[in-house]
Amino acid sequence: MANVAFLGLGVMGYPMAGHLVKAGHSVTVYNRTTAKAEKWAAEQGGKVGKTPAEAAKGADFVMACVGNDDDLRAVCVGPDGAFAGMSAGTIFVDHTTVSAAVTRELYAAANAKGISFVDAPVSGGQAGAENGQLGVMCGGDEGAYARAEPIIDAYAKACKRLGESGSGQLTKMVNQIAIAGLVQGLSEALHFAEKAGLDGKAVVEVISQGAAGSWQMSNRYETMIDDKFNHGFAVDWMRKDLGICLSTANENGASLPVTALVDQFYKDVQKMGGNRWDTSSLIKRLRAMG
């Protein structure tokens, strides 16, 4: 078993760190709000670091799941950053969804200190984190990934290395691009069913068994029909992710017309006060249009 530090105890990180304890690892956590870290430690029997560097000291692996590019830099670099507390030969695993550019920047900074850096964004949402059933998309050196995979397995349903540094983040962008179109399509389908006077739940029971079926349909159709969105992956987070996708597409020349359109639809949902609603709340925008 390993000594592991976990940085960031949001709706994803909190249960992910717990799975590491259940797997038998010794875990030290850091969170910007110390009270939350102390609550986690009291529940799980782990330790608390006052800074990322303190949490990372003596750790074989340091995992992070924070908010955005700036948050990740803040927990990695500087005198209180994790890299300052890590020893040569240790591995940093980033589960945050960030740009491939900051990933490569921090990969280089880590390597300069003899530290390995694996980008490992996740998919599966809060439920996936709580149930230890996340999809983990990784980039980085093969050797570092091979050492990190058994640790990641504590909360992963599937884990795969896709290539060199940044490949995990690029794959997460592919994931979010695919989801954006699916959720909009499902929203339009359910909205159409409502307008046509059909029983939406009965309709989905049939069409979900054919080519229209998807994870989004199976896991979100009931709450969408019932107009319940206080769960799952928040609209604010999705817009952050889609912004990364669109920015990267501008750099690599990819054409993302549907993604750009859905991003604007999520902007409309934010104007409706839906910043923290689940991403399936796109249907509320259609309902509001009449």
Tens digits of per-residue pLDDT, 22-56? Answer: 999 999 999 999 999 999 999 999 999 999 999 99
What percent of the chain lies above the pLDDT cut of 90? Answer: 98
Query: CA angle at residue 74 from 103 to 83, to 5 degrees?
Result: 70
From 36, 39, 50, 172, active-site residue? 172
Give the closest residue to 65 by CA, choosing from 125, 105, 22, 107. 125
Q: Which residues pair with 63 in a beta bridge?
A: 6, 93
pLDDT in tens, 212-258: 999 999 999 999 999 999 988 999 999 999 999 999 999 999 999 99
Residues of the chain with CATH 3.40.50.720: 3-164
Asked if residue 132 lies in contact with residue 159, where contact means CB atoms within 8 angstroms, the answer is no
CA–CA separation, 285 vs 2, rounded Å?
47
Contacts of 224 (CB under 8 A, 6+ apart): 186, 187, 190, 280, 283
Residues 172-199 pLDDT 10s: 999 999 999 999 999 999 999 999 999 9
CA distance 290 to 284: 10
Please, what is the average pLDDT of the chain?
97
Asked about 267 being catalytic, the answer comes back as no
Residue 289 has a pLDDT of 94
Q: Taking Cα atoms as reference points, which of 105, 100, 102 lies closest to residue 138? A: 100
Helix (H) or strand (E) run with residue 135 in it: strand 134-139
Give the per-residue pLDDT at 232: 84
Give every CB contact of residue 156 below 8 A, 6+ residues apart in sequence.
132, 133, 134, 135, 136
- Indicate where the chain has its CATH 1.10.1040.10 domain(s): 170-288
Token pair 């995990």 is found at: 168
Whole-number percent of the chain with pLDDT over 70: 100
The pTM score is: 0.95
CATH T-level topology, domain 170-288: N-(1-d-carboxylethyl)-l-norvaline Dehydrogenase; domain 2 (1.10.1040)
| CATH superfamily of domain region 3-164 | NAD(P)-binding Rossmann-like Domain (3.40.50.720)
Q: What letter represents residue 89's amino acid? A: G
> What per-residue confidence (pLDDT) applies to 290?
80
pLDDT per position as a tens digit, 117-162: 999 999 999 999 999 999 999 999 999 999 999 999 999 999 999 9
